[in-house]
Structure formats: structure tokens, C-alpha cells
Amino acid sequence: MLIDSHCHLDRLDLTQFGGHLTGVLEAARVNGVTHLLSVATDLESWPALAQLTEPYPQIALSVGVHPSEDHGQAPTVAKLVTLGCKERVVAIGETGLDYYYGYESQQRQQEWFRIHIAAARELGKPLIVHTRNAREDTLSLLANEGAAEVGGVLHCFTEDWDMAAQALALNFYISFSGIVTFKKAKPIQDAARRMPADRLLVETDSPYLAPVPHRGKPNHPAWVRQVAQCVADLRGESLEEVAATTTANYARLFGVDVRKR
């Protein structure tokens, strides 16, 4: 059993799957992927995401506003808590900090991050955190705003073992995406080797970041198998061991009963 702990099902191009999400889920099932977490990136599209995934009990949801999504409705604690109480919403996010395109929105991103942390603490649900070119501020805000109370995951991990260790100390898990399969991703691969088994997750972040040998193609949840195989190879473990470990971790972090399909 494998789990894609972070994907964006509402952003997939379904034409290669007969135009239906059922085709995506069947391809995942054939590859041993039984559960998925479809992660929100804004508030406007959340109702459509909930409607798209409603027929499929193996799909869990989050609610949040990506740090780069500054064109839509701003998050509030009240709005996040209201949506966060909905059935099958297991986390708050994706939230965090992304300074890749510059620092003009730094203050706004930090304030929105604080709002998400506050909502997660009120709900008692974990955070899904995106961080890029914002290492120190991300760790500082998580620590200072009490995020360790609920914990969460640094998704699509692109840093090194030092940052991973600091995140672990804040009660966070680390999730590896297709980037870990890339030849030049040495610091990420080192972190995957050293990660405590009880804090390890895998994801696709689909439709983005397809793993080798599919790099450059539109990603989809079935290919979390290639991510898990790479992590297993790095750790000197079998695919089955990594699958069992990451499944148990997903169930524990997000409170999902993975026996339901």
C-alpha cells in the first residue's frame, strides 16, 4: 500500500485519463496507491475541489492559501476554521513562505502564514508547509507561532539535513517528491537517507515535478511509486518497507483510517 501525501487533483489534465478522475485513481490503484491527499492552494477553488473528490472516500483534503496565490481571497482564521471543519479535511495548507520571485510580498506572506498556524492550532489539525528560499523565516515562524503544538509536514522537501533536523525538532514530518530522483539533488537525497523512519512521507505534488524516468511529463499520483522506490534505494530498504512506513506515518499525522478505500 502506497499513499500520495500531496497532490493537486483539481489541476490535473484529465484528458489522458478519459476525462474523468476515476481514470487517475485506477492508474494509481494499479501501482499500489490506495489513498491520496488533494491539497488546496486557494479559497475560491475549494468548493470545486470538494465536489470533484466527494465520490471517492480514499481522497482526503486540506484547506489553505498557497503563499504565492496573492490574487484571490485572503485567508482569515475564521474562514479556514469553517472550511477546516468540513468532512475529510485533515490539514491546513498549503501555506508557508516562498521568496523565490523576490521579497516584495514577504510581509503579506508572513502574516498569512501566521493566520494558517493559528487556524491549525484552533482546529487541532496539522499544517502542510511550502518553503522556498525562506529557510530561516519559515523555521522562525513555526517556532514562534507555536506550530509544534499541531505539527505537520514540510512538503516537497528541497533543503538539506540541517533544516530537516530543525523541522523534526518542531514536531514536523518531511515529505519527498519527484525531486529526490533527480541526479543533482544530493542534499535532498542525503536527508532522505538520514530521515527517521517515523517522520518520512512521499508525494507527487502532481501535476508538477514528475520523477525520473518521467521527468518533464505531467505528473500524476501513480508515480509516487517511483518516488518511494528511489527513497527505498537511498535508505537500503525495500519498496515494501518504505510503503509500510510512509503509510503508517500518513495515517498517524493526518488521522486517516487507511483501511477504508
Backbone angles phi, psi at 148, to 5 degrees: -60, -20
pLDDT of 31 above 90? yes
**Mean of pLDDT values over 22-38:** 98
**Mean of pLDDT values over 214-236:** 98
**Mean of pLDDT values over 106-110:** 96
pLDDT, residue 102, reads: 77
State percent of the chain over pLDDT 90: 94
- Answer whether 0.75 is exceeded by the pTM: yes
> d(Cα 206, Cα 157) in Å, to the nearest integer?
14
Topology classification of domain 2-202+249-254: TIM Barrel (3.20.20)
Residue ranges covered by each domain of the chain: 2-202+249-254
Whole-number average pLDDT of the chain: 97
Structure confidence by residue, pLDDT tens digits, 134-176:
999 999 999 999 999 999 999 999 999 999 999 999 999 999 9
